[in-house]
C-alpha cells in the first residue's frame, strides 16, 4: 500500500511539475540526473528516487532488484538481492545477475564523474571470474580517485576521440566471501565524436 502511494506521488511529479513533500524534499519533474546523484549521496530519500528511476529507465533491471546502496564522490556500492529471480538451478546467485552487478557498479561511477549529456559511456567487454557460490545478498564496490580519472579518462580525451578504461569490481556476500572478480571495459567518447550510420 505504501509503495503504491509513493509510486503515485512520484508519478504525479511528471504531470504537475514541482512539488514539495513535507516542505522538505523538492522534486522537479525535469530534475537533472547529475543533481539527483549529488542529492542521493547525502539523502536516503533521493537515493530511493534514484533507484526507482533506475528501474524504470532500464526495464531489464526491475525484476532483479539491483540497488545502488551508497554513492560517494569517488565510490559506489551496489546490491544484488538473494531472491528467486536471481537464482540458478543450484539455488545460488545466477552468473548473469552477478555479471550485471559488475557492469552496473563499474559503469555508474563514470556517470557520477562525467556529464552523460557530453560523454557517451558504453560497455565494450565484460569478464568475470566466479570464485564462490552466492547464497546471500551480494554487494559490489568500485572506487576511483581524482588522479585515476585524470590519468585514465580526462587527459587522454584531450588528445583522442575516445578512451577505453577498465573498472575492476569485486563482489562479496554478506559474510565477506569474495564471490567474483570482474573487469568491465568501457569506451568513453564525447557525443560530438560519435558517428552513427545513416
Q: Which tens digits make up the pLDDT trace of 62-73?
A: 888 899 999 998
What is the CATH code of the structural domain delimited by 32-193?
3.10.129.10
C-alpha cell at 147: 588522479
- The whole-number average pLDDT for the span 166-191 is 95
Distance CA 26, CA 126 (A): 38
Sign of the torsion angle spanned by Cα atoms 27, 36, 76, 132: positive
Select, from the ranges 40-44, 106-110, 177-181, the one with the highest average predicted confidence (pLDDT).
177-181
Q: Is the confidence at residue 54, as pLDDT, over 60?
A: yes
Distance CA 79, CA 119 (A): 26
Distance CA 14, CA 73 (A): 28
**CA neighbor of 113 nearest in space, from 18, 22, 5, 38:** 38
pTM comes to: 0.79
Taking residue 87's Cβ as centre, other Cβ atoms within 10 Å add up to 15
Distance CA 98, CA 121 (A): 21
Least confident of 6-10, 30-34, 61-65, 92-96: 6-10
Domain locations in the chain as residue ranges? 1-30, 32-193
Amino acid at each position: 500500500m505504501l509503495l503504491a502511494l509513493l509510486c503515485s506521488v512520484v508519478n504525479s511529479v511528471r504531470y504537475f511539475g514541482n512539488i514539495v513533500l513535507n516542505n522538505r524534499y523538492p522534486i522537479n519533474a525535469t530534475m537533472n540526473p547529475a543533481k539527483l546523484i549529488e542529492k542521493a549521496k547525502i539523502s536516503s530519500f533521493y537515493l530511493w528516487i534514484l533507484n526507482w528511476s533506475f528501474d524504470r529507465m532500464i526495464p531489464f533491471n526491475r525484476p532483479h532488484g539491483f540497488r545502488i546502496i551508497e554513492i560517494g564522490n569517488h565510490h559506489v556500492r551496489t546490491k544484488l538481492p538473494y531472491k528467486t529471480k536471481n537464482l540458478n538451478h543450484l539455488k545460488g546467485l545466477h552468473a548473469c545477475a552477478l555479471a550485471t552487478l559488475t557492469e552496473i557498479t563499474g559503469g555508474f561511477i563514470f556517470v557520477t564523474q562525467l556529464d552523460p549529456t557530453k560523454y557517451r559511456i558504453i560497455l565494450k567487454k565484460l569478464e568475470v571470474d566466479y570464485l564462490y557460490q552466492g547464497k546471500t545478498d551480494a554487494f559490489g564496490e568500485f572506487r576511483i580517485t581524482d588522479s585515476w580519472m585524470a590519468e585514465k579518462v580526462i587527459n587522454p580525451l584531450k588528445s583522442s576521440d575516445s578512451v577505453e578504461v577498465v573498472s575492476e569490481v569485486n563482489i562479496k556476500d554478506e559474510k565477506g566471501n569474495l564471490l567474483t572478480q570482474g573487469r568491465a571495459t568501457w569506451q568513453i567518447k564525447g557525443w560530438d565524436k560519435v558517428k552513427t550510420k545513416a
